[in-house]
Structure 1
Amino acid sequence: MFDKHALTLELTFKAIRSSGAGGQHVNKVSSKIELTFNIHESLVFDEAQKARLLNKLSTKFTKDGLLIMQCDETRSQHKNKELVTKRFFELIESGLFVPKKRIPTKIPRAAVKKRLKSKRNLSEKKTNRQKPDLE
């Protein structure tokens, strides 16, 4: 589908100080990772794939065609980098996924006959419940 190694080379990572509670560790360590990917400058995808990604993932991309993802789940910068790249590849694969075209099947003749027979039986049952016509 696409070359993950070549795509990894097109990603830019930036380490940022993580927010929230954590005391002194948060104040001195940049463990939050921000991943940036520019789809317009990408050489991995062809124009059709780029258009598909921009269409399906339109809410994830900025107006300039940038995809920005962040991860600050763990205290480790390396672990956060692994997590954000894993999420990035899952997002790209879901964006490029083309569902199979559904081919409608014909209803079997036996099933049609069975349905019509059950309708006829139910109709006869209801007509037998009516009062007899004495004329």
Structure 2
Amino acid sequence: MIVVNDRVSLEEAELDFEFIRSSGPGGQNVNKVSTAVRLRFDATNSPSLPEDVRRRLLTLAGRRIGGDGFLTILAQTARTQDANRREAVDRLVELIAKACERPKPRRPSRPTLGSQKRRLESKRKHSETKSRRRDSNSSDD
């Protein structure tokens, strides 16, 4: 059981790990040992995710969600399978935790009285400048 927060926890069986060859550090060992981890998580059909969290997760994940609805995370920075596996799970937990945060509703603000007056004063000055230009141009003709 992987606990994300008090509301969401994932079953280990929902995570699918695939070990592949890494392009990271390791010298000649890189060519022999599959240390990189590809974590796949069925975000669209997971029974562990509440519907609102699922919607936000699909939005947050972006290109990491495939056409089949699986979220894919690749971890290959460490030199061992275990460390890369932990990193992939940590990144998944972090992403789900971010999806659990409800967005703060936007409340439209109103311009202050002072800003309205400054705006109108600026428009009046600009208008006067342009009208002075018009008057001086008509006498030249």
Q: Give, in whole Å, the separation in 1 of the partners of 2:45 and 2:119.
A: 59
Matched, 1:105 2:109: yes
Q: Give, in whole Å, the separation in 1 of the partners of 2:92 and 2:86.
A: 10
Question: Any stretches of 5+ residues in structure 1 without a counterpart?
Answer: none
Normalised by the length of structure 1, the TM-score is 0.65
Matches within 5 A, 1:41-60: 41-60=45-64
Matched, 1:80 2:90: no
Size of the aligned set, in residue pairs, is 130
Q: Give, in whole Å, the separation in 2 of the partners of 1:72 and 1:46.
A: 30
Given residue 85 of structure 2, which amino acid in structure 1 is its aligned partner? K
Q: Give, in whole Å, the separation in 2 of the partners of 1:41 and 1:60.
A: 16
Q: Give, in whole Å, the separation in 1 of the partners of 2:76 and 2:45.
A: 27
State the superposition RMSD in angstroms. Answer: 3.5
1:45 Cα shift? 0.8
**What is the DSSP-based 3-state SS (H/G/I as helix, E as strand, rest coil) of the residue aligned with 1:59?**
helix
Work out whether residues 64 and 71 of structure 2, in 8 Å CA contact, stay in contact via their aligned partners in 1: yes
Question: 1:22 matched to which residue of 2?
Answer: 27
Distance 1:66 1:124, change over 3 A: closer
Task: Give % identity.
Answer: 36
Question: 1:7 matched to which residue of 2?
Answer: 10
Of 55, 58, 64 in structure 1, the residue corresponding to residue 68 of structure 2 is 64
Query: Computing the radius of gyration over CA atoms, which structure comes out larger, 1 or 2?
Result: 1
Q: Give, in whole Å, the separation in 2 of the partners of 1:87 and 1:116.
A: 51
Normalised by the length of structure 2, the TM-score is 0.63
Question: Any stretches of 5+ residues in structure 2 without a counterpart?
Answer: 137-141
Q: Give, in whole Å, the separation in 1 of the partners of 2:97 and 2:53.
A: 11
Work out whether residues 11 and 37 of structure 1, in 8 Å CA contact, stay in contact via their aligned partners in 2: yes
